[in-house]
Structure 1
Amino acid sequence: MSTITIEPATSDRFDDVQHAFDGGGDGRGCQCQWFTLTNAEFSRTSQPERRELFEREIAAGPPPGFVAYVDGEAAGWVRVGPRTRQPRLGRTRIIKAATQEPLDDDSVWVVSCFVVRREHRSAGLTAKLLDVAVDYARRQGARAIEGYPVDVAAGAKSPNDLFHGVLSTFTGAGFREIARPKPDRPIVALELA
């Protein structure tokens, strides 16, 4: 049986997050900056620039997410934090139209991104990362937390399309569906306070 630990993404773990990103998906290129930048800003930045932005974000704190380890090897990542710190979300039409929470409310957090290395997929690591993210949000005073997962029951998706997480992981953690702006893209929420 593997030993799984999950730790905050701090500067001393930056290389571990990078290792998790290397294992498949878009993590390496995106550097988990997709939601922190506008579309124009993201298009203007190179991968090395996004890596530098991400490294500075982690160094500045608080941790923007968590890194999962399987038997000591970095295997996964989750981004969690106030929705206001991820400005693209507030500019996304389907989220703006469907969320039940004010877009400028710092007490509304979001779990926006997951990365799991190929060799560790289908082992429940995403669910463990989500549990830690929710617990962290609660301890930091979040009133509510949202997610924007993919409903794989609505049609097959490539692993690269699942960086938002899948609906069953969120509902398994107690989130409820509050809207479905697209057939495969529900919006889910969990009240924490």
Structure 2
Amino acid sequence: MSDDLVVRPLTEETWDAFAALVERHNGIFGGCWCIWFHPDCAERGQGYDGNRALKRRLVEEGKAHAALVMDGDRAVAWCEYGTPEELPNIHHRKEYDARGEPPPDYRLTCIFIDKAYRRRGLTRIALNGALDLIAQQGGGVVEGYPQDLSDGRRVGNSFLYNSTRALYERAGFSYEGPKGKNHTVMRRTVTSKAAVPD
């Protein structure tokens, strides 16, 4: 890993690097291509190739967003984010909706790290990268749904698709309440800042 990790947004220009990361990990969780949180449509859930095509289309249409952590030209991590309209499908949705809280401006729904780069602090870099990109897009209330491991439990990576409560707290998020078994609702307001030209 170089010392020159940078964060870039997921766009048509960075699609190939993102796709290579997903392909190195067999489509991530069972070939999902990180489309589970997107709206239902005919392509969603149609296997590896269908999910890939859907993700690419959403990126091309500007409806799928992520902060990509880049090591040179290689994407090595991401944090998916978007509006509730772009990412309506969250786990424990019925329980979440029963809270009656106003929706956030943005959601963070998935954080993934290349298996060759884990335990090197990239989760924090990806999370902060997403917050920076959200700030450049005008900021607002940002919500995430990490696991609460304050009891000392250890869980597998598939259960840590949105990292841990402790990481979110270090990133300035406040605990809003539980969501499902061991998951939480965390919120932070991100201030708008002008995009920095490339």
TM-score by length of 2: 0.83
Query: As a proportion of its length, which structure holds more helix?
Result: 1
How far residue 119 of structure 1 moved from its aligned partner, in angstroms, is 1.2
Q: Quote the Cα distance in structure 2 between the aligned partners of 1:127 and 1:26.
A: 20
Q: Quote the Cα distance in structure 2 between the aligned partners of 1:180 and 1:40.
A: 32
The Cα RMSD (Å) is 2.6
Q: Quote the Cα distance in structure 2 between the aligned partners of 1:157 and 1:170.
A: 17
Residues 21 and 140 from structure 1, CA distance in 2 versus in 1: closer, same or farther, beyond 3 angstroms? same
Q: Quote the Cα distance in structure 2 between the aligned partners of 1:122 and 1:98.
A: 35
Gaps of 5+ in 1: none
Q: Report the secondary structure of 1:153's partner residue.
A: coil
- Asked if 2 retains the 8 angstrom alpha-carbon contact of 1:145 and 1:189, the reply is yes
Letter in 2 for 1:145: V
TM-score by length of 1: 0.85
Q: Does residue 170 of structure 1 match 2:172?
A: no
Q: Does residue 37 of structure 1 match 2:39?
A: yes
- Asked if 1 retains the 8 angstrom alpha-carbon contact of 2:18 and 2:68, the reply is yes
How far residue 183 of structure 1 moved from its aligned partner, in angstroms, is 4.9
2:21 match: 20
Letter in 2 for 1:35: F
1:180 is aligned, of 178, 181, 185, to 178
Q: Quote the Cα distance in structure 1 between the aligned partners of 2:7 and 2:22.
A: 15
1:137 match: 134
Q: Does residue 3 of structure 1 match 2:1?
A: no
Q: Quote the Cα distance in structure 2 between the aligned partners of 1:32 and 1:176.
A: 26
Q: Quote the Cα distance in structure 1 between the aligned partners of 2:157 and 2:33.
A: 17
Q: Quote the Cα distance in structure 2 between the aligned partners of 1:170 and 1:149.
A: 8
How far residue 87 of structure 1 moved from its aligned partner, in angstroms, is 1.9
Task: Count residues with an aligned counterpart.
Answer: 188
2:93 match: 92
1:192 match: 190
Q: Quote the Cα distance in structure 2 between the aligned partners of 1:99 and 1:26.
A: 32
The percent of aligned pairs where both chains have the same amino acid is: 21
- Asked if 1 retains the 8 angstrom alpha-carbon contact of 2:145 and 2:185, the reply is yes
Q: Deviations over 1:130-173 (max 9, x none)?
A: 11211222222242000001123342211121111221221111
Gaps of 5+ in 2: 192-198
Q: Point out which structure has higher relative CO (alpha carbons under 8 A, 6+ apart).
A: 1
Letter in 2 for 1:140: Q
Q: Quote the Cα distance in structure 2 between the aligned partners of 1:99 and 1:124.
A: 35
